[in-house]
Structure 1
Amino acid sequence: MPDTTASPSPVPAARVRRAASGDEEALGRLDRAVWSPLHSVQPRPEEPYEPFFTPRTGPRDHLVAERAGRLVGYVRVGRPTALASNAHVRQINGLAVAEEARGTGVGRALLRAAVAEARRQGARRLTLRVLGHNAPARRLYASEGFAVEGVQPEEFHLDGAYVDDVLMGRRL
């Protein structure tokens, strides 16, 4: 007798695009919804909320993932310093994925888009910082070619524990 049970429908792929100024409210909501001491060194955001975009990091610095017309993630890519001597380096300064989109490839798609964007900008290296206790993020970064390049032991005190700051990078 044939199996008549329906298989789960696949999760539609997320579309990654450059952020627009109109995304600010949705990005702010997403950022507040995913806040956790697992990945944030800042206190939990409280009202009144700061704008998501700042003069230093605007839409031009963000790539967003959409699924079914809804923002489900973002990655922020910028220069680590304003120095001409490291203009060849880009840095991931934030990556967030909505809880319901985790494990569906959104983070990986955003990370790959960040690599492509850094290359498009002429960068030779892409770096990031991740908290030592954030094992899921560290596994994702390693699987995409990022290697640990340094550790600042007990750099942060979060939720009553000292946490390492792990520096990772990769050549482009």
Structure 2
Amino acid sequence: MTRDDDPTIRPARPEDEPGLAALNRNAWSTLSDVSPEPPETDGIFDERHTPDQYLLAVLDGRIVGYVRQVPATPLECNRHVRQIQGLAVDDAARGRGIGRRLVEAACAAARAGGARKMTLRVLGWNAPARRLYESCGFTVEGVLAEEFLIGGRYVDDVWMARRLAGRTDGN
């Protein structure tokens, strides 16, 4: 059952680019991003970032969150693994379970597409994101210690994963 003030989760469309780019800029933070802050003039879609990779949370016609999931690698032997490569929720919409709904929707879409595993990378100092992912069933699979130098501090790169389907290979 949904409430009237619950956002709709839906796939992105090309016309969503301005709202998605604005949310991406507003959500940028050294807590979660290793890339430089995006300029005001940057869009979001290009040859590597296409609308079909994004699920959006929309409330009252406004994009209040997104998750991006893509194949982990281009290799055929790795086709069963998807990776979350971006999650953001508008500050004004936090605390409503939108991040959780987006992660769960991404996992459901990946599973429906035949994926057996979802992975992601999160900065070690991003405790809120790590708690969210853990509460969604993700576990730490590895840590690259001091992988990034951000603002004069070394930060770990934490690799997390969640199984989407049971194993059939006997292992």
* TM-score between the two structures when normalised by the length of structure 1: 0.91
Determine the structure 2 residue equivalent to 1:54.
46
Query: 2:36 is matched by which residue type in structure 1?
Result: P
SS at match of 1:64: strand
Q: Does 1:12 align with 2:5?
A: yes
Q: Per-residue deviation at 1:30?
A: 0.4
Please provide the CA RMSD for this pair.
Answer: 1.2
Give the residue type in structure 2 aligned to 1:162: Y
- Looking at structure 2, the residues matched to 156 and 54 of structure 1 have their Cα atoms a distance apart, in angstroms, of 25
- 1:171 and 2:155 matched: no
Which residue does the alignment assign to 1:120? 112
Q: Answer yes or no: is 1:27 the counterpart of 2:24.
A: no
Measured after TM superposition, the shift of residue 44 of structure 1 is: 1.3
Q: Give the CA deviation at 1:46.
A: 2.2
CA distance in 2, matches of 1:54, 1:119: 25
Shift in Å at residue 14 of structure 1? 1.2
Q: Helix, strand or coil for the counterpart of 1:116? A: helix
Alignment-derived partner of residue 4 in structure 1: none
Q: Which runs of 5 or more structure 2 residues have no equivalent in the other structure? A: 165-171
Aligned with residue 42 of structure 1, among 35, 38, 41: 35
Say whether residues 1:134 and 2:140 are aligned partners.
no
Deviates more, 1:13-22 or 1:38-47: 38-47
What 5-or-longer segments of structure 1 have no aligned partner?
Answer: 1-9
- Aligned equivalent of 1:160: 152
Q: Hey, what's the Cα distance between the residues in 1 that align with 2:38 and 2:74?
A: 28
Query: Deviation per CA, 1:68-108, whole angstroms, max 9, x where unpaired?
Result: 11100000010011100100000001001001111111101
* Alignment match, 2:169: none
Task: Check whether the contact 1:77–1:92 (CA below 8 A) recurs between aligned residues.
Answer: yes
- C-alpha contact 1:64 1:75 (8 A) present in aligned 2: yes
Report the counterpart of residue 6 of structure 1 in structure 2.
Answer: none
**Cross-structure match for 1:5:** none
Q: Secondary structure at the match of 1:133?
A: coil
Larger radius of gyration: 1
In structure 2, give the amino acid aligned to 1:18.
P
Deviation above 3 Å: which 4+ runs of structure 1? none
Q: Distance in 2 between matches of 1:57 and 1:47?
A: 18
* Equivalent residue letter for 2:121: R
Give 1:38's aligned amino acid: L
Asked whether the 8 Å contact 1:14–1:66 carries over to 2, the reply is yes
Counterpart in the other structure of 2:167: none
